[in-house]
Amino acid sequence: HRVIPLCASPTSAATTGTVKETLATCAIAAGRLAGNLDWLEIEAGGTTAANANSKAVGIDLVGTGTTTCITQSHASNALSWVVRCKILRSSATAEVLSGTTYRGTSTLQITTTTAAEDTATALTINVFATTPTASADATLTWMTVVYVDFP
């Protein structure tokens, strides 16, 4: 396997409003997922504000449509969070998405879904947060995206 870093962001970004907001993005070139079983691995992490407000964090795959790989809603008070997503190409127009989230010291959520994006076109990875009560309830502190080709 060959692992190629595509994006990294050590820049902190907090929510600024009370709607779903993209806190980090990574553009994936058209044709990057060229072979079946090629995949992307996305990881991002951050912190939550010291309050009991509702917060949601997650990762979207955007192409001709938008498919959410993972999202977790919670009311964590001053805790760290991590979201992970693996996007595996199963055909030229089908992907399997598997996501996990962690917050604090023990909460784990796992999801699996599918997407029908044309991998010959450009794709975008968005790390997002929704903080319906107040701005700055969720802050992204880092994100990485790597591509792995399957020989």
pLDDT of 18 over the 90 cut: no
Q: What is the pLDDT of residue 83?
A: 96
At residue 147 the predicted structure's pLDDT band, cuts being 50, 70 and 90, is: very high
Per-residue pLDDT of 103-133, as tens digits, reads 877 678 899 999 999 888 999 999 999 998 8
Per-residue pLDDT of 21-68, as tens digits, reads 999 999 999 999 989 999 999 999 999 999 989 999 999 999 989 999
Q: Measuring CA to CA, which residue among 94, 100, 89, 122 is closest to residue 45? A: 100
Per-residue pLDDT of 74-105, as tens digits, reads 888 899 999 999 999 999 999 999 999 998 77
Q: What is the pLDDT of residue 111?
A: 93
